[in-house]
Structure 1
């Protein structure tokens, strides 16, 4: 059986076929950033939470985030994984602020490593870190968490130092008085 398409209808199908099948991350307002939503464990057995980043233009980006809470989970991180979807992340929360240092040993994919201060503000970002590189990637000041997302995604989404992280288990505290 042959199908006959009109030119406008064919154009619509062509555009739909070329459009990305999913969004990089949902953009929404802060009222609909549900960091309290309960999620099941990840395939790696880690607890998961919703984390949102509000960029300087007011756009909210939502990530389903694996929580690397224990020292063993933090030591393994995203090592040996061959992909990290654009709407996924991993958070490394710390008990108290510290000078964080990460490396890419045994990490197959490039990552953006986002260093987060105690008030939830992004301190600095190491963009597109190089797979397998053992050179330390450092926070520029003490931080209470590190968030890893797909390499190059922070630039694509306009996420920069000074933007705010919203999460339920990583509850930002007021910055210490000087």
Structure 2
């Protein structure tokens, strides 16, 4: 009888665990949670959001670099206007490039540099920085499973 009760209890908890993140990586910024794809190797970081026609609301891409340093992102072959958030090793916002337009100029697309050394970069649909009211120094929270690198 005890085993049956335990099984029913665990079965009841299973759907609740899936509701929190649906197995998807997530970050939270200024009280808003975003499901993210994680780009944590050179190939994934280089590909980024190239050639995508859209980015679903409430989603983004988190780039995890190997070391904290000044970074510059560009929009080569990116079809979606984005806000690009740069975070340091302490997960504090260094700078944000707002409303970065798509670029089809290949290697002639302009770079959008961080205002200081960064380790993590978050790309969200353009306009999110304004909606969130982000400011330099805001912190980002990572859900389970997101690799942490170079943190103090």
Give the TM-score normalised by structure 2. 0.77
2:110 to 118, 121, 135: 135
2:133 to 142, 158, 171: 158
In 2, distance between residues paired with 1:116 and 1:108?
A: 24
User: What's the Cα RMSD here?
Assistant: 1.8
Give the TM-score normalised by structure 1. 0.66
In 2, distance between residues paired with 1:38 and 1:166?
A: 17
1:50: how far off?
1.1
Structure ranking higher on relative contact order (CA contacts 8 Å, 6+ apart): 2
SS for the counterpart of 1:72 is helix
1:157: how far off?
2.0
Higher helix share: 2
Contact persistence 1:118–1:143 (CA under 8 A): yes
Q: Which runs of 5+ in 1 are unaligned?
A: 1-35, 40-47, 55-59
Higher strand share: 2
1:37: how far off?
4.7
Contact persistence 1:117–1:144 (CA under 8 A): yes
Q: Which runs of 5+ in 2 are unaligned?
A: 1-19
How many aligned residue pairs are there?
126
